Each structure stands twice: as structure tokens, then as C-alpha cells.
């Protein structure tokens, strides 16, 4: 099991979209995926009302088990304790940068603070601009081997899919032509799996994250909130939040 936190303190850089699409694409391939949404706005949670079978979603750090192939953690723009904890347990950080110099600068500062292996990727990429080619070259020169060369093209479909509570990668099945942006995410998913194979897994005491919250964990037949959550029940319990 590899735990990858998706973070960049620049707002709107594509963290949630990347967390949702990567999780969905790998789950469609049959991998067992847990996506943790640490953003109080719960954008990833809301975007995944429809999701592939082997994808579990948690609205907060709760019960986590090593049965997963990957745990992805979507983080908010604001630094908070939960994000710091997630980073301390993660095996790597994925830093999405949108098509702006502000995102690159923020990503650079953020990445340099990390003690973990990190990878940088481009989202909302518009190739038909003069800046497009230069931008990719600049990312490559800034981040070298840490730059994942699978830029995600801009597509309005991501916003449409999020609004419908479905990953674009599931919505695509109903449309005729495959989208370039989705092909980009497929390529990125491959690169992530390859890159993840090369990193070591940190020992994790994931139980430290489990703090039962009576407001979030449903009670059964009026019983007190349980101390632990059976993984098999995890999905259905989380749906009740
Ligand atoms: N490849 C893309 N093409 C076009 N729009 C995109 C793409 N990726 C993300 N978006 C859109 O950009 C906006 C910001 O993306 P997203 O929510 O993933 O960023 P974020 O980093 O999670 O933002 P926040 O910091 O607010 O949590 C959303 O409206 C999303 O639909
Ligand atoms: Mg987000």
C-alpha cells in the first residue's frame, strides 16, 4: 500500500480533480483505492457520489487499512493539522500546478519544503498557446526528474462531471469520442504507478488517525458510537455522513 498526498497551497491548482480522476481510473483497473478528503468543503467527497466499485471515499481520516493498493489524500489550500499528519505518514506527495506562473512558484516553494519524494504535474494545460511549449520546458527545467511528463489538457468536462457528482472517467463511458484530457489522466496514472513502485513505504501507525467523532459516525440502534469501523462497512457508513 502506498499513500500519496495531493497538495499545493495554490488554490484551484487541480488537487481535487486529480485526486478524483486518478482514484477512479485506478479503481476501474481493479486496484483497491481509498480516497481521503481532508478539505472541509469536501469537494472530492461531493464529486464522487457515483464511483467505481473498488473505490472507497472517506470524508476525513478515519479507519485506514493496508488492504488498499493506494491511498490518495486530497488536501485543502490552507495548511491544517490533518494535512501535516497526512504528509508525515505519506510515502510521496503529488503537486499539481495549473497553467500559471503563480502555481509554479508556489509549487516550487512547497516542494522544496518536503522531506518526502515528490512529483510535479501540470493541469489545465492549453497546448494551443504560445506559452504552452515554453511552460512545459520550464517545468522540466525547474523540477527535473520530479516532473511527470503527462500534462492534463484543459477540458470543461471536469467541471461538468464534478457538478454531477461523477468522475469524468466514468462519465466518459457514455460519450462517443474519447477525451484527450482523460487520456492524459490515464497516462499520468501509469506514470504514478511506475514512480510509486520505486519509492519505499514508510512504516505507518495509521491507527493514530482514528478519532471517533460522534457527529460523523452513525449510531446503530441508538447504541453508543463505536470505537472502530469494520472496513467492510466503511463505505456505507461514510455515505450516511
Ligand atoms: N484539466 C482541467 N481542465 C479544465 N478545468 C479543470 C481541469 N482540472 C481542474 N479543472 C477545474 O478547475 C477548478 C479547480 O480545480 P480543483 O477543484 O481540482 O482544484 P483544487 O486545487 O482542488 O482547488 P482548491 O484549492 O480550491 O481545493 C475546478 O473548477 C475544476 O473543475
Ligand atoms: Mg480541492
| pLDDT tens for the 241 residues of the chain, in order | 899 999 999 999 999 999 999 999 999 999 999 999 999 899 999 999 999 999 988 876 655 667 899 999 999 999 888 899 889 999 999 999 999 988 899 999 999 999 999 999 999 999 988 889 899 999 999 999 999 999 999 999 999 999 999 999 998 666 667 799 999 999 999 999 999 999 989 877 666 555 445 444 443 333 333 333 344 444 444 433 3
118 alpha-carbon distance from chain centroid: 14
Q: CA end-to-end span of the chain, whole Å?
A: 26
| Total Cβ atoms within 10 A of residue 22 | 26
| Domain ranges within the chain, ordered by starting residue | 2-239
Ligand 1 pocket check: which of 16, 41, 73 to mutate, most ligand atoms within 8 Å of Cβ?
Answer: 16
pTM: 0.87
Residue 17 CA, ligand 2 centroid: distance in Å: 7
Cell numbers standing for residue 203: 512504516
In this predicted structure, what is the pLDDT of residue 166? 95
In this predicted structure, what is the pLDDT of residue 207? 61
CATH superfamily entry for domain 2-239: P-loop containing nucleotide triphosphate hydrolases (3.40.50.300)
In what helix (H) or strand (E) does residue 138 lie, and over which residues does it extend? helix 130-143
Residue 42 CA, ligand 2 centroid: distance in Å: 8
Exposed / middle / buried, residue 101 (Cβ in 10 Å: 0-12, 13-18, 19+): exposed
Query: Could you give the CA distance from residue 5 to residue 60 in angstroms, rounded to a whole number?
Result: 13
Amino acid at each position: 500500500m502506498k499513500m500519496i498526498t495531493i497538495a499545493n497551497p495554490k488554490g484551484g491548482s487541480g488537487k481535487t480533480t486529480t485526486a478524483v480522476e486518478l482514484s477512479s481510473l485506478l479503481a476501474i483497473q481493479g486496484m483497491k483505492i481509498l480516497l481521503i478528503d481532508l478539505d472541509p468543503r469536501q469537494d472530492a467527497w461531493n464529486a464522487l457520489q457515483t464511483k467505481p466499485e473498488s473505490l472507497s471515499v472517506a470524508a476525513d481520516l478515519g479507519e485506514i487499512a493496508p488492504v488498499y493498493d493506494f491511498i490518495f489524500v486530497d488536501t485543502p489550500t490552507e495548511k491544517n493539522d490533518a494535512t501535516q499528519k497526512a504528509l508525515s505518514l505519506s510515502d510521496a506527495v503529488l503537486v499539481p500546478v495549473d497553467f500559471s506562473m503563480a502555481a509554479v512558484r508556489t509549487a516550487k516553494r512547497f516542494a522544496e519544503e518536503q522531506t518526502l519524494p515528490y512529483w510535479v504535474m501540470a493541469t489545465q494545460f492549453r497546448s494551443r498557446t504560445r506559452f504552452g511549449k515554453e511552460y512545459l520546458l520550464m517545468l522540466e527545467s525547474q523540477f527535473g526528474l520530479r516532473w511527470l511528463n503527462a500534462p492534463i489538457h484543459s477540458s470543461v468536462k471536469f467541471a461538468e462531471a464534478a457538478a454531477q457528482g461523477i468522475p469524468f472517467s466514468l462519465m466518459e463511458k457514455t460519450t462517443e469520442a474519447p477525451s484527450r484530457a482523460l487520456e492524459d489522466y490515464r497516462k499520468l496514472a501509469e506514470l504514478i504507478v511506475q514512480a510509486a513502485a520505486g519509492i519505499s513505504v514508510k512504516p505507518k501507525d495509521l491507527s493514530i488517525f482514528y478519532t471517533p467523532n460522534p457527529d460523523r459516525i452513525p449510531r446503530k440502534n441508538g447504541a453508543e458510537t463505536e470505537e472502530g469501523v469494520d472496513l467492510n462497512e466503511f463505505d456505507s457508513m461514510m455515505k450516511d455522513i
